Structure 1
Amino acid sequence: MALDIIAVVSILIFYAVISAAGIWAARVTGKRRSKRASDTMIVGGRDIGLFLGICTMTATWIGGGALNGTAETVYSQFGLIWAIAPLCYGFSAVIGGLFFVKKMREDGYVTVLDPFERTLGKYFALFYFAIESFAVFIYTAAILNALGSTIEVLAGMNRTASIILSAGVASLYTLLGGIYSVAYTDVIQLSLMLLGLILVIPFALADEAVTSISETFAIEGGWSGTWDPNTAGPFIDTLLLTLLGGVPVQGAFQRFLAIDTTKNAQLVGVVGGLLSSLLIIPPVIIGAIGASTNWTMTSYDNGTGISPADLGNERQILPIVMQYLAPSAVSYIGLGAVTAAVMSSADSIGLSWSGEFGRNVYHSILRPKASEKEIIWSIRGAIVVFGVISAAIAIQSTSIMTLYILCTDLIYVLTWPQFVCSLYLDTNAYGTLAGIILGIVIRIGGGEYFLVIPGPFNYIGGINFPVKTVAMTTTFATTVSVSWIAKWLFQKGYVSTRYDFMKVNLVKETKKVDNSGRAFESLALQKSEEL
């Protein structure tokens, strides 16, 4: 495909505007600070208002993976019935806002890893950081993959080059401005996203090659999808994995903890989560349009009549609909919409992961005596590393929706149970370790449905066994029960404290501090704040 100069210039202008907006936001908010300079980069001065908070929360969850992945799923053999991941991810923000924000803010936390570090120590926090690293790299690869596919189709630009350029631009303004740059650019990106998606749909629906999507909804092979009882297990896993696995992620809690009051933070979770769930409607319609199109009547593949599915291009159906079923000017705006969605998620996730690295890894483990300036530079360096790794994975990846779902697999199985325990239950390192081991064994034993990888264990029902949910439940139950047993054995004297090899000190209650010896300071809440 020939390079479309107008489309490429439009992308470069958009990147220039977003970068300028990010740098401007960093300058005008430069005096708004937390008590520690490194915390300012992560959560600012904890003074982001309700409107800005809703915009940045919505933009974070409705990334390119959600848009392109939803259209891909609806257009493919899976159909609408399987397009549940973006919907559930949105509702995970609602769950976080209603049940976890208040506790996290009351305890003065800055990252999702802080509760783990406080109750279990810095090395367990490092383990959970590794899990989240796997998740965020895969997630960002999914959305960069979506952008690369879109630019390749609409602009004729090399997919690899577009991924590298996008990752570089997002990293640039994020490392310069932190949370404020990300939040303010999210407003621009969300606005363009809404405009582009809504504008494309009427033109595509009106094209003569498109049959009414209401007529093709429930026909054989239609875009509604077909329910197969033999896939009930993976379906349940996907639903609960995206609903609960999306809760304990730093990308969402960075926003929760940066909002000015607890009440507003809860509203941001509820409203932002619902809005991001509603925003999957446009890509659903675009996927349905692709499934309802007679491609013989279009110029796709030089008018040969071959469909995108025939060529294995399901992941590109959203930009293909934009290019072949809408006027050029409209497709350019649609390109801007996908670009905005990707940038709004990539910058948010990059900053959240880098903040955890700087606070919970570099400062707590590698350099406990590091100055604030050194911690800030470790965060900035991590942002660059994050962009490089995510781009590398995106270049090598294939299906967008598969990546989008797999990214929270281990978070759901291992992190979610411990997140609940660390905040609300009296568990300890012995229970956590036992839960981790059993959870991993059960999870690996079931293989992976979406990658068609068989597991070494023959569970009841075979592929229909909800292995991820069973593994998560086992992790939770084991953590709680073994924690109680260990505490009982030590406190009753059945096991001598000299065998307390994890140094949990269950006999004598002590003030909980992290393993580096520093107590977690209260950073944000005042007694007069409205809870």
Structure 2
Amino acid sequence: MGVNIPGLIGIIVFYLLILIIGFVAARKKSSKSASSNSDDLLLAGRNLGMFVASFSSAATMVGGAYVNGTAESMGRDGLVWSLAPILYNVGVAIAALIYAPKVRRARYTTIFDPMQEKYGNNMGGFLFFSELLSDLFWEAAILSALGTTLSIIMDLDTSISIIVSACVAVFYTFFGGLYSVAYTDVIQLLCIAVGLVLSIPFAIKHPSVNLERIQGNWIGELPTRQIGPYVDFLLQTTFGGIPWQAFYQRILACKSPNLARNSTLVGVAISIIMAFPPAVIGIIGAATDWNATSYPGEVPLSREDWVDILPMVLQYLCPVAISVIGIGAISAAASDREIVWVLRISIAVTGTLGAIIAITVRSVYGLFVLCGDLMYVIQFPMLTCALWVKFANTYGSIAGCIVGLFINLTGGFPTLKIPPLIKYPFYDPEIGQIFPFKTLATICCFLTIIIVSYVTHVLFTKEILPKKFDIFQCYVEKYHMTSDLVPGKIDEKNGEISVINDKKQNGSYKMSSNALTLNGNSNLHVEF
């Protein structure tokens, strides 16, 4: 198959559009601030309005992995196994209603701030790695989707396609920070919507498409022996969607807590709507007699071939003009969900590692689901306990991590071709683990954090154990001031900040009724 010249032109045009928007956004950032401080780079100056925040929130989910993965799973496995897009959004909605207002009112910079406050800086740094790994899988899913698209229309090696796309995504994020990501998110989301919606009427009317081929089969099947893994799948994709840094980056960049909540809920609605076009395209792909098209591959499609179903429908079932719009929009959706808040050099590293994983693992939908694994097992319990369990401490978090990771890692990862070390009850040699061990790992992580934290809290506060044995210094009183603002200490309504007096009550510092009005950049940091 030769290079699709119109498709190539469409891709170039869409890439240029994304790069231009990214640079314009970066200039917007520069014009608002002479220096590039953390709030500008990470949180767009905490100045995102309803429109940009809503679309950016939706676009953190909707991209190449979202649309390609949905089409892949829907066409191959049916609706029953294609619920990940909906369930991830359900998790985000839960986070918007329960988690988002709390963290936005506290004016955190990243979602790791409350965990560092509760568990200490070292433990907070360790928890960063599970977020990083999940982000790598997410980016790999996006780049894998993009690689399959480019390889279909340009007869180009998938690995080369992935590398080129990673370079573009890293390039504009490197210079623009969240401003670039937020504004390009909006453009990409609109492009994807227009491209996919336009393609459906043309594809479904193609002579090779006969919906009677899939009548009664599009729902999919759920064998009894797969109920356990299915429970893991449902819960992992729902609650694994709650602790994502990329989601909270948009939350913390909003002008107010109410706007953060409302814009996220609007973003969830947009994202769920955006799941329908690729699902329909997947069904069309399943209803197509590919022998009656110009598709050069083998028929029937192998399980691996289904990864390409969305670009195949656009390429072989749509007119050239519609194909260019659809393919260009999907190809431009290389928007990364990598963590902009580390250092700029980490953006390049993340892009590189994401590309390597994308080249190694072929299933877009498999990576899409896998990225929520550690978020469900580790980050979800850690964040929840940090925000709502008052006595949670470093001892509990370390123990919870050990228990949760042990149960999860020993169960194996079929998507990565990692075999299980422990065969849990009802193990099947063909389909692997049947017992919902990931949910077991999450529950055990929760219980371990709470129980170990409570026991150590009682031991040290009741002085059953001398505080010299408090090796992580969870119960050592500290009191000092700096000129840095502590997230959560400022009263946004009247610009006042509560301070701690010098009097002790029952061995601990108490908040006084005194207040200090902040002027300019004179901020107070109190740690105790």
Gap change, CA 1:237 and 1:528, over 3 Å in 2: farther
CA distance in structure 2 between the aligned counterparts of 1:3 and 1:525, rounded to whole angstroms:
60
Which residue is equivalent to 2:185? 186
Q: Deviations over 1:339-390 (max 9, x none)?
A: 23x323x1xx23xx130x2xxxxxxxxxxxxxxxxxxxxx222222222221
Q: Deviations over 1:32-83 (max 9, x none)?
A: 459981221000221111011111111110111111111111222x222100
CA distance in structure 2 between the aligned counterparts of 1:491 and 1:34, rounded to whole angstroms:
48
Q: For CA contacts below 8 A with separation 6 or more, give which structure has more relative contact order.
A: 1
Pairing of 1:383-398 with structure 2 (within 5 A): 383-398=347-362
Matched, 1:260 2:259: no
Matched, 1:294 2:292: no
Pairing of 1:68-83 with structure 2 (within 5 A): 68-76=68-76, 78-83=77-82
Computed over aligned residues only, the root mean square deviation of the Cα atoms, in angstroms, reads 2.4
After TM superposition, give the deviation of residue 232 of structure 1 in Å.
Answer: 1.1
SS of residue matched to 2:322: helix
Which residue is equivalent to 2:334? 343
Which residue is equivalent to 1:225? 220
Query: Which of 392, 409, 412 in structure 2 is aligned with 1:447?
Result: 412
CA distance in structure 1 between the aligned counterparts of 2:347 and 2:330, rounded to whole angstroms:
22
Q: Deviations over 1:302-325 (max 9, x none)?
A: 7x7x23337x31100111111111
Which residue is equivalent to 1:367? none
Pairing of 1:303-322 with structure 2 (within 5 A): 306-309=299-302, 312-322=304-314
Matched, 1:504 2:479: no
After TM superposition, give the deviation of residue 10 of structure 1 in Å.
Answer: 2.0
Give the stretch that moved more between structures: 3-12 or 202-211. 3-12
CA distance in structure 2 between the aligned counterparts of 1:459 and 1:262, rounded to whole angstroms:
43
Give the stretch that moved more between structures: 4-13 or 27-36. 27-36
CA distance in structure 2 between the aligned counterparts of 1:526 and 1:54, rounded to whole angstroms:
23
After TM superposition, give the deviation of residue 444 of structure 1 in Å.
Answer: 2.4
Which residue is equivalent to 1:406? 370
CA distance in structure 1 between the aligned counterparts of 2:24 and 2:461, rounded to whole angstroms:
58
8 Å contact from structure 1 (residues 101, 256) kept in 2: yes
Which residue is equivalent to 2:346? 382
CA distance in structure 1 between the aligned counterparts of 2:408 and 2:183, rounded to whole angstroms:
40
Query: Which of 408, 412, 429 in structure 1 is aligned with 2:394?
Result: 429
* Larger CA Rg, structure 1 vs 2: 2
AA aligned to 2:302 is: A
Which residue is equivalent to 1:456? 421
CA distance in structure 1 between the aligned counterparts of 2:478 and 2:444, rounded to whole angstroms:
29
Which residue is equivalent to 2:18? 18
CA distance in structure 2 between the aligned counterparts of 1:34 and 1:251, rounded to whole angstroms:
26
After TM superposition, give the deviation of residue 528 of structure 1 in Å.
Answer: 5.5
Which residue is equivalent to 1:362? none
Matched, 1:197 2:196: yes
AA aligned to 2:242 is: V
After TM superposition, give the deviation of residue 286 of structure 1 in Å.
Answer: 0.9
CA distance in structure 1 between the aligned counterparts of 2:346 and 2:417, rounded to whole angstroms:
33
8 Å contact from structure 1 (residues 89, 246) kept in 2: yes
Gap change, CA 1:276 and 1:217, over 3 Å in 2: farther
AA aligned to 1:354 is: V
AA aligned to 2:44 is: G
8 Å contact from structure 1 (residues 234, 449) kept in 2: no
After TM superposition, give the deviation of residue 527 of structure 1 in Å.
Answer: 1.6
Gap change, CA 1:499 and 1:35, over 3 Å in 2: farther
CA distance in structure 2 between the aligned counterparts of 1:13 and 1:151, rounded to whole angstroms:
14
Give the stretch that moved more between structures: 8-17 or 102-111. 8-17
Which residue is equivalent to 2:279? 284
Please report the TM-score for the alignment, with normalisation by the length of structure 2. Answer: 0.87
Give the stretch that moved more between structures: 387-396 or 281-290. 387-396
SS of residue matched to 1:142: helix
After TM superposition, give the deviation of residue 95 of structure 1 in Å.
Answer: 1.4
Pairing of 1:338-377 with structure 2 (within 5 A): 338-340=330-332, 342-344=333-335, 346=336, 349-350=337-338, 353-355=339-341, 357=342
Query: Which of 476, 479, 492 in structure 1 is aligned with 2:462?
Result: 492
After TM superposition, give the deviation of residue 296 of structure 1 in Å.
Answer: 2.3
CA distance in structure 2 between the aligned counterparts of 1:192 and 1:63, rounded to whole angstroms:
10
Matched, 1:332 2:327: no
CA distance in structure 2 between the aligned counterparts of 1:210 and 1:524, rounded to whole angstroms:
61
CA distance in structure 2 between the aligned counterparts of 1:452 and 1:130, rounded to whole angstroms:
21
Which residue is equivalent to 2:170? 171
CA distance in structure 1 between the aligned counterparts of 2:491 and 2:485, rounded to whole angstroms:
16
8 Å contact from structure 1 (residues 34, 523) kept in 2: no
CA distance in structure 2 between the aligned counterparts of 1:338 and 1:429, rounded to whole angstroms:
44
After TM superposition, give the deviation of residue 176 of structure 1 in Å.
Answer: 1.6
Query: Which of 456, 469, 492 in structure 2 is aligned with 1:526?
Result: 492
After TM superposition, give the deviation of residue 4 of structure 1 in Å.
Answer: 2.0
CA distance in structure 2 between the aligned counterparts of 1:249 and 1:217, rounded to whole angstroms:
38
SS of residue matched to 2:201: helix
Which residue is equivalent to 1:415? 379
Gap change, CA 1:524 and 1:251, over 3 Å in 2: farther
SS of residue matched to 2:385: helix
CA distance in structure 2 between the aligned counterparts of 1:231 and 1:122, rounded to whole angstroms:
41
CA distance in structure 1 between the aligned counterparts of 2:184 and 2:413, rounded to whole angstroms:
37
Which residue is equivalent to 2:235? 240
SS of residue matched to 2:102: helix
CA distance in structure 1 between the aligned counterparts of 2:424 and 2:122, rounded to whole angstroms:
33
Paired residue total: 489
